[in-house]
Each structure stands twice: as C-alpha cells, then as structure tokens.
Amino acid sequence: MAEFMELEGQDGVRMAWNVVPGTKQEASNCVVPVSAIYTPIKPFPNMPVLPYAPLRCRNCRSVLNPFSIVDFAAKIWICPFCFQRNHFPPHYASISDENLPAELFPQYTTIEYQSPGEASSLPPVFMFVLDTSIIEEEMAFLKSSLSQAIGLLPDNSLVGLITFGTLVHVHELGFGAIPKTYVFKGSKDVSKDQLLEQMSFFLNKPKPTTGVIAGARDGLSSESIARFLLPASECEFALNSVLEELQKDPWPIPADQRATRCTSTALSVAASLLGACVPGSGARIMAFIGGPSTEGPGAIVSKNLSEPIRSHKDLDKDSAPHYHKAVKFYEALAKQLVHQGHVLDLFACALDQVGVAELKVAVERTGGLVVLAESFGHSVFKDSLRRVFQSEDKDLGISSNGIFEINCSKDIKVQGILGPCASLEKKGPLCSDTIVGQGSTSAWKMCGLDQATSLCLIFEIVKKDIPDSTVQSSGNQFYFQFLTYYQHSTGEMRLRVTTLSRRWVAGPGSIQDLIAGFDQEAAAVVMARFVSFKMEIEAEFDPIRWLDKALIHICSRFGDYQKDSPSSFSLSPRFSIFPQFMFHLRRSQFVQVFNNSPDETAYFRMILNRENVANSVVMIQPSLISYSFQSAPEPALLDVAAIAADRILLLDSYFTIVIFHGSTIAQWRKAGYHNQPEHQAFAQLLQAPRGDADAIIKERFPVPRLVICDQHGSQARFLLAKLNPSATYNSDGHHPGGDIIFTDDVSFEVFLDHLQRLAVQTKRKNSNQCLREAIDGLGVPSESEGRGGEAPSLILSEKLYFPITINMKGRSAYVPPPYIPLGQSDQELPPPAGDGPASPPQSQSQSQSQPLQWSSGICACCDDMQSCCIGLFFPCFLFGKNAQFMGSGTLVGSCITHFILWAFANTLCCMLTQGLFLGLPGCFLSCYACGYRRALRARYNLQEAPCGDLATHFFCHLCAICQEYREIRERAGDCEPPDLKLAVVTAPAVQTMESSGL
C-alpha cells in the first residue's frame, strides 16, 4: 500500500479502486463502490500557489491541468473532460514546450490559485453560547477554560456572548457602563425580524422597507453591530468580567424534574443574530452544552425525571416522542446556517446525553467541530478547546466559506458525498439518479473545514457495453477534477484544483488489473462510512448481514480456489487484510450500538465521516504496541495472547489511548523500583509508552482520552474489549502471566473456516443452502433468506471476533500489517516477543463432549487441611477467593456479601424468629453461590454432582466451597494453593533498555 500512500501525499486522494471497473456491470460485481476519499485542503510543502486566476474550459468550466492536450502552434488546449477546444488568452502567448505554466507541469496535479484583491474584509467571528443550567463546579471549569481560550483569540476577531438556561440572554458587550443583556423566553421561537426589533437595531436608523437585512451594507449600522460583536482586543476585559460574574441558572428545580434548558432557542437566536450582522463571514457558533435540552422546539426529553432519555431501542421502535420534532428543527437550522455561511461547533460535556444525535445534522452539514466529554473539567474538553485556537505547529488550519465542485469524464456520474458538507443543489449531467448522502448535485457548500477534513465521494459507472480492444487501448482513462474554493486562515480566497487520471478495464482478464489497484484501507473506510449511513436512513437495515454478504461476494470474485475445496482458498496480498478490516468493523462502535447511547454513536460517526484514511483505519482496527526489557517497542497482535506479566501495552483506538501494565510491571511500579537509581532501565520502560501516548495526543483532534491501567484492574476493560478472545474460560489451558476473556465468542479460525467454505460455494449453491450449512456448523437457530443466488450472511452471531495483526513503523501512524494468507489461522501466527503462543480455543466438539468428573469428591475436605480449616472457620474468605478467580467479583466484595448472607442474616433471623426461619438466609446464600459453581462447571466441563448446584450449596455449602477451591487449584496446575498466600514482589533485575528501532 506504499504506492497508495505516495499518491495521497501528492494529491490528498485515496481511491478504493485505483484501476476502475469500466462498465456498470463490472462495477456492480466489485461490491465496494468506485469511490475516493479526498482531503480538500491537505497541506503540501511543495505545492505552488499561483498569483492569477485559473484558465477554465468554455463548456464544462474545468480548469487547465496537466492532462489537457495542448497545441503550442495554434495556442489551443483541449479539455480532457468534454473535449472542447479552448484558445489561450494573450498572457499565455509565450507558452511552448520549454516554457510551460505551472498548471501544465506533470508533477503539479494539485495546485492552488490566489487571486489578488479577493481577500475577505471581515475578520473571524466567534459567538460563544454557554449553558448555565449546570452545577457550580462545572460552571467554574467552563469559565476557566473559556478565559484561557479568549486569551488565544486573534486580536482582530469579533466576539459575542449568549448564555441560556430557562431563558436566553444576549449580552451587549459594547455597553461598558454596566452589564446589559437582552432576554428571550426559552419556550418561544424568535424570528429574525422579532430579534432585530426587540434588540433595538433600528433605534437610530430606520428599518429598510424592502430587501433583506444583512450586515452593515444592507440595512444595519456598524454601531448597532458593534454592540454585540466586538474585537477581542477591545472586549477582553468586559468579556472576562461577565464570565467572572456568571452564575448558575437561578430558577429553582423541583426534586422530581430536570433543569430547564432551552438549547434550541439559544442556537436559533445566535444564528439569526449572526445572519443579520455578519452574513457570509464564516462565523462560528461555539455551543457549550452541559445537559439535555428540555425546553423549546429542539427538546430531546421532558422535564419529568420519570421519563428516560431516548435510547437506540426507542429510536428503532419509533417510541422517542421528541426525536423527530427536534431533528426537523435542526435540519431547518442547518439550512439557515449553510445559507448564511456559518458554522456550528458543539462541545458537549455531561454524564448524561445532551442531544448530539439530534444536533448531528446541523453540525455535520456546516462542517463544525464536535467534542464529547464527561465534564468541562476533563482534559479531553480543555485540551481540545485549546487546540482550536492555538497557532503553533499543531494548529488545525481552520478555514471557512468553502465551495466544493466536481468534474469527471462523461462515463462517470456522482451519487453523492458522505462527509461534512451540504448540497448546493446544482443539478446537471454529472448527477446520478441514485443518491448517497448529500447527492443530486455536483457542487457542495463547506462552511467550515480544516486540514484534516475529508470527504468520501461515491461514483457510478454508467457505461453499459464493453468497447472493442482498439478503443479500449487508446482511450482507457477516466479523469476526475476536484475544485475547492475557500477562505484561507489568513483571510485570502483561494482555489485548489486537484486533477486525477485513473485507468479503466473491462471484460475477460480484468480481474488481475482490478486486484493490482485495490486499496484495502481506503475500501474499509468507504464501507465503514457507507454502512453507518445506511444504518441511519434505513429502518430495517441489518448491518451485520450486509457486511457479511459484501465480504463473501468479494472473496468469491477475487479469491483463488478450486471448486468445492475450502482448503485451497487464498487471497492476493492486495486483498489479504480486507477481511480482517471488515470483520473488525463488525465489532466496532460504528456498527455495534449496544452499550452506547445515541449521542455516543452519533459522535463516533461524525468523527469517522470527517477524518482521513489513516485515522479512520485506527478507529476501525486499533493499533497495539508492546514494550518490554527483551526487545525494542514493537507491534503486537490485537489478541489476548499479547498480554504478559512483564510487558507494557499501548493501545490506540483513536478515541482512547490505553497504557496497560502487566501484573509484574504493576507490582514493580507500586513498589517504587522506578525511583531507585539502580533500576533506571525500569523507569525508562515505564516512560517509553507515556512519551509515545503524549505524541499521539498532541497530533489528534478531538484529544483522545488517556487511560493508564494495570492487569486485572477495573479499567483494563478498555483494552480487553478490543482484543480477540483467543483464550477464554473454554480454552484448554491458561498461560502464566497472561489473561483470559470471559466470553463465548468464537475465534478467528472459526470465522476463516466458514468464510472459505461459503466463498467457494457461493457460485454453485443458492443462498438458503449455504446459509443453512453455516448455521448448522455454528449451532445458531436458522433464519430464512430471501432471494436465491445471493451470497448468504457469513455468520448470524454478532459476536464473532478475530485477531488483527498490526504492523506499525511509526509510533503514531498506522502502517498495514504483513500479508496473512486466509488459510492461516491465528494459532499459526508468530507469537509476540517474550511470550508463548496463545492457547487455541476449545473446539465445539470438545465443548459439547461428555462432562468430566470432579477431581475430588464433595466430602474430601480433609485431603487439603489448609482449605478445610479456612472453609470451616472463615468460609467467606475462601468463597471470595473462588469468586475472584472466576473473574465474577472481587475478593472484598464477594467476601462481604457472603458474610452478610451467611453469618449476619442467619444470626438476625435466629434472634428475631427464635430459630423458626433459620434456613431462609441459607436459601438466599445458595441462590447466590450456585451461580459461581455453575460458571466453574461450564469452564471446565464438569458434572453437576453430587446433585444440583442449588441443592449442593443449600445442604453442603461449606463442603461445596472447599471442593470448588480444590478444583480450581487442580485445574490451574498448581501444586500449592497460591491463592491463600501473600504475594511476594521480586525486584526487577538491573538491566538496560534496548534501543528503539521505531
């Protein structure tokens, strides 16, 4: 994939198919759509900026480019898109083979034009919209962060302030004598005319009788505008004074109700105010929201606390009463902001949902930034806000007022764009009848964009017949031209032009050419955006089945195999990683919405839709780096086998950075060995992943959350949730120092077996038969399939995961992993350095075999006198140890629960009832303890003996917990009972770190 990254470094474009299928049928058979992910204003150090206007075609308005045919003698150039002959203007009179303008140089396929005298007269504008219906602590955090941000604003930028809670307050910063605000009712929608009238904009100047009121040139005086929008250098003191005196919303909140919060009304007032004062300026509304909207047309929930905020289940069942009304309101607000050229940025900081799912349409169509955090005091919010305004090397390069246009060859049409933009409804011959995202147009508005903003363009091949070989060899090129007209961060208006040429193929023998031009990373990102889009617009859409069908179709078409021989199946290195990307996408937060709120899902998808390929791949498939004394930092398998007691792991899932310490490393750190001079190598080992994590955090927006955790700690779940469960409680063995995951999910090997079998059968069998065989192999209840001849769903279980190999050359950038043949299982992959191979998952035939006998009987307590004595006198401690090993509870928590149910409850019942209900607490304890016994039997496939789990614990509770402890010790392979001994921490050996090869 190095050549694709090189092309991206030249033009900012990654295409899924760099050799394009030449006909509509060929494109349909390729499954992954013909598409491009384009970063419009990606910085290029060697890109020329020309100080004159571009030369355009008279017919299609495309710009002169290196693919144009030039007749130097006649001073004519032919457009490669419409073949129109155009004359050069007089100032191109000296053009020749040896005197070419920059736009005709072959290496300058991306170029910028800077027209003199077109700089914008308006400075940047920021309207801060603050939520005051938050607690005092959150208010203090918010005011502190805003005070720092105000100090970073450009001196000439215009600043305004609106606060809201029960009411909306528009602060008149230009009135310096005393604080002065205009108040609007939160439940009432305010029109633009009402706003201007109530805020006395025409007190000294009569209101125009006709025309649209828009800015100082159309009806408003500069003095009236300056009352609410002042330069930062002039209003910094007044703004800080207002912030210092700002208090929590004073209206009382009943105990059974939520705070009144009129978010939608405040945003509507801000949009109308900016539309009247500074239209077309690229102004930004920066909304800081700390809770759900409960008032106004955009409310997401009522004030009554008995009504829960909508969940994914409510949205699926169409039982969210406020959702559609709020979305409709924000769609109208988005249309207004796009018309005005303004941007809505959202900073949502709360433990509860705030309405990001409803606000998504307005933020995304205006190209706004979005940050989601737990609190205004969290580093995710504070550092992200600082990144917006900083002007150092890592600045975002924020621009505004963008218009994006496309030109392409006549055999290609545009279906639409998935990304932060809005349609300008410019219809023409390039528009496809099929609409994806923002479609039915060839021009889009990008109110806000930055250096990382990326668009996903979906194309349609309209050519239906295969031309003869002579025509195909002479004209087998498709041309694409992307034009981005935008206001640079310096205020200059620029036009960036990117022109591409891609070869098309069709007919027999084109498979190898298509394979050679397939970009696996770009294709995975396109599929991720596409499936997220379909999940939002299609009510009965099944994303897992759709992804499975697509994967089977691709493997069947581009795989190499013998008929009805799954073992012969293999994929080219150009496709070898794509199944891993696709299946990892199935378990990602973009598809699996379980355990995520609608706000979180909307946030994840908004970030995915605006990031480039490299960052998006990390979201789909996190990267994992291992640090140890034995080797330099190196990539590790995204698998539970990567966990080792003497190893540190660094997980980058884009939204979260996890530094995971193995159990031995954690013990050394807690003992303070890194502070001792003789163990400086250990201190360096601890510091290495932290330095790499800091480097990633500094380059990323929004700033990711940093989690530092230890093995077996509560926050280790952030790592375990992303790992492949190749070692579970069903596995045959357990590696010392490693870890297991308590799940019934199948492994990579099972997935590959079924993928290979279904891929080689898709062309020969109908979908019902293939699906039935897949269901029989997995033991999943059957489900009928619709049309014959389609590829079946790969596996119906939505919890089918598999390990991913990560190969990173840089510490903060993704580099694709080495080629892994599809016939190779995860057990055949080389294990990470310093660790043994992962335990293979127990096969289904083994897991369903005859149950085994216990290693000791229920009455064999005297075989181990130590556990017998502890179980007799301190049964709660022994029970807690068993529960801790099972991973279903902590030692202290399980021990206390057992004590309450066994000793305390028994004593209390005996005292109160004189012994009549002595067995009642024992029944409660039996119900509690039998669950652990059942889990232990399931792990080791043990018989339910001597009787049922509940009866065993009810009649022989003490003997049962002693038997369970002996079984755990026996199955773990320990000759001594280590759980009953104190841990001994051995100091690390004095050694040196190996030099990093990264």
- Does residue 244 contact residue 165 with C-beta atoms inside 8 Å? no
pLDDT at 209 over 60: no
Residue 704 has pLDDT above 90, yes or no: yes
Q: Which two tokens stand for residue 932?
A: 């652990």
Q: At what angle do helices 613-620 and 578-586 cross, to 10 degrees?
A: 60
Residue that finishes a domain, picked among 370, 389, 408: 389
pLDDT for 779 equals: 31
Per-residue pLDDT for 497 more than 60? yes
Do 894 and 957 have their domain in common? yes
Residue 598 CA: distances (Å) to CA of 140, 257, 310, 573: 28, 22, 8, 38
Q: Give CA–CA dist 780/776, Å, rounded.
A: 7
Q: Token pair of 637, please?
A: 């398998």
Does residue 429 lie in a domain region?
yes
Residue range 879-904, pLDDT digits in tens: 888 887 776 566 777 788 777 776 76
Reply yes or no on whether the pLDDT at 591 is more than 80.
Answer: yes
CB 652 within 8 A of CB 835: no
- For the domain that residue 11 is a member of, what is the CATH number? 2.60.40.1670
> pLDDT, tens digit, for every residue of 10-59?
999 999 999 999 999 999 999 999 999 999 999 998 899 999 999 999 99
CA 702-703-705 angle, to 5 degrees, is 120
User: Residue 508: pLDDT band by 50, 70, 90 thresholds?
Assistant: confident
The two structure tokens encoding residue 161: 């302030």
Segment 596-602 shows an average pLDDT of: 96
Residue 455, strand partner residues: 38
Q: Are the C-beta atoms of 344 and 264 separated by less than 8 Å?
A: no
- The amino acid that residue 134 corresponds to is I
What is the span of the domain harbouring residue 687?
622-723
Nearest to 614 by CA among 808, 397, 387: 808
3-class DSSP state of 544 = helix
DSSP run (H or E) holding 402: strand 399-408
- From the number of C-beta atoms within 10 Å of its C-beta (0-12, 13-18, 19+), residue 880 rates as buried
Phi, psi of 980 (to 5 degrees): -100, 10
Which tens digits make up the pLDDT trace of 67-115?
999 999 999 999 999 999 999 999 898 999 889 999 999 999 999 998 7
The answer to whether residue 800 sits within a structural domain is: no
Q: How far apart are CA 558 and CA 514, in angstroms?
A: 9
pLDDT, position 844: 37
Beta strand 125-131 with 158-164 is parallel
pLDDT tens digits for range 903-930: 766 666 666 665 555 555 566 677 778 8
Residue 802 maps to a domain: no
CA 46, chain centre distance (Å): 32
The arithmetic mean of pLDDT across residues 393-404, rounded, is 87
The pLDDT tens digits of the residues spanning 227-281 come to 899 998 888 888 888 999 899 999 999 999 999 999 999 999 999 999 988 888 8
C-alpha span between 805 and 823 (Å, rounded): 15
The answer on pLDDT for 481 being more than 80 is yes
pLDDT at 131 over 60: yes
Closest by Cα among 719, 700, 517, 482 to 611: 700
Whether 799 has a pLDDT exceeding 60, the answer reads no
Burial 161-185 (b: 16+ CB within 10 A, else e): bbbbbbbbbbbbbbeeeeeeebebe
pLDDT value of residue 956: 86
Q: Which of 188-202, 804-818, 861-875 has the lowest average pLDDT?
A: 804-818
Q: What is the CATH number of the domain that holds 594?
A: 1.20.120.730
Predicted structure pTM score: 0.79
Say if residue 184 is in the same domain as residue 299.
Answer: yes
pLDDT at site 769: 44
Beta bridge partners of 408: 480
Read out DSSP for 820-883? Answer: --TT--GGGSPPPTTSPPPPPPPPHHHHTSPPBPPSS-TT-GGGSHHHHHHHHH-HHHHHHHHH
Give the Cα separation of 735 and 741 in Å (integer).
13
Select from 29, 30, 36 the least CA-distant residue to 574: 30
**Length of the chain as a residue count:** 998
Asked if omega into 702 is within 30° of 0 (cis), the reply is yes
Residues 870 and 956 in one domain: yes
Whole-Å CA distances, 44 to 175, 453, 811: 45, 15, 22
The answer on 354 and 340 residing in a single domain is: yes
Domain co-membership, 8 together with 155:
no
Taking residue 368's Cβ as centre, other Cβ atoms within 10 Å add up to 25
* Residue 559 CA: distances (Å) to CA of 572, 755, 823: 7, 11, 11
Do 447 and 357 have their domain in common?
Answer: no
Same domain, 166 and 267: yes
3-class DSSP state of 331:
helix
Tokens 């078409």 locate to 557
Answer yes or no: is 654 within a domain: yes
Among the candidates 692, 723, 754, a domain finishes at: 723
Tell whether 535 is covered by a domain: yes
Positive or negative torsion for Cα 264, 266, 267, 272:
positive
pLDDT tens readout for residues 313-369: 999 999 999 999 999 999 999 999 999 999 999 999 999 999 999 999 999 999 999
Instruction: Give the up-direction half-sphere exposure of residue 985: CA atoms within 13 A in the CB hemisphere.
Output: 13
State the average pLDDT over residues 488-499. 90
306 and 364 belong to one structural domain: yes
User: Cα angle at 63 between 34 and 400, to 5 degrees?
Assistant: 80
Q: Are residues 592 and 539 in the same domain?
A: yes
Lowest mean pLDDT among 55-64, 687-696, 827-836, 954-963: 827-836
Other C-beta atoms lying within 10 Å of the C-beta of residue 477: 14
- Is the pLDDT assigned to residue 613 strictly greater than 90? yes
Q: What are phi and psi of 932, to 5 degrees?
A: -70, -40
Model pLDDT for residues 937-984, shown as the tens digit of each residue? 877 778 888 888 888 888 888 888 888 888 887 766 443 344 444 345
CATH number at residue 288: 3.40.50.410
Strands, sheet with 69-71, edge to edge from the N-terminal-most edge strand: 69-71, 76-78, 85-87
- Contact, 728 vs 841, CB < 8 A? yes
Residue 929 is predicted with a pLDDT of 80
Q: Is 529 a residue whose pLDDT tops 70? A: yes
297 plus 171 within the same structural domain: yes
Tally of domains in the chain: 5
Q: Are 134 and 163 contacting, i.e. CB atoms less than 8 angstroms apart?
A: no
Provide DSSP, 237-284. Answer: HHHHHHHHH-----S---TTBPPP--HHHHHHHHHHHHHHHSTTS--E
605, part of any domain: yes
Higher per-residue pLDDT: 901 or 833: 901
Is pLDDT at 783 greater than 80 in this prediction? no
Amino acid 466: pLDDT: 64
Same domain? 741 vs 706: no
Backbone φ, ψ for residue 446 (5° rounding)? -120, 90
Cα 980 to chain centroid, rounded? 44
Residues 345 and 403 in one domain: no
Amino acid in the structure at residue 668: W
CA-CA distances (angstroms) from residue 634 to 159, 193, 455, 996?
48, 63, 33, 9
Tell me, yes or no, whether 803 lies in a domain.
Answer: no
- pLDDT band per the 50, 70, 90 thresholds, residue 777: very low
Q: If you average pLDDT over each of 176-180, 465-469, 483-487, 869-873, which comes out highest? A: 483-487
Residue 988 region by backbone torsions, left for phi larger than 0, else alpha for psi between -120 and 50, else beta: beta
Average model confidence (pLDDT) for the chain? 82
Q: Which whole number is the average pLDDT over 484-512? A: 90
CATH number of the domain encompassing residue 707: 3.40.20.10
Per-residue pLDDT band at 564 (split at 50, 70, 90): confident
Phi/psi at 329 (5° precision):
-65, -45
**Cis? peptide before 946, omega within 30° of 0:** yes
Mind giving me the DSSP string for 673-708?
Answer: GGGSGGGHHHHHHHHHHHHHHHHHHHH-SSPPEEEE
Q: Which residues pair with 239 in a beta bridge?
A: none
From residue 345, how far is each of 230, 342, 356, 358 by CA, in Å?
A: 20, 10, 11, 14
Question: Is-contact 450 403, C-beta < 8 A?
Answer: no
Whole-number Å distance between alpha carbons of 94 and 71: 13
Taking a C-beta distance cutoff of 8 angstroms, is the pair 112, 49 a contact? yes
980 in a domain, yes or no? no
Residue whose pair of structure tokens reads 């206001």 in the numeric block: 487
- Alpha carbons 339 and 595: distance in angstroms, whole number: 37
Residues 6+ apart with CB under 8 A from 236: 150, 151
DSSP at 296: S
What is the sign of the dihedral through the CA atoms of 251, 254, 255 and 261?
A: negative
- Please enumerate in sequence order all residues whose Cβ is within 8 A of that of 774, keeping only pairs 6 or more positions apart, or say none: 754, 757, 758, 792, 793, 794, 795, 796
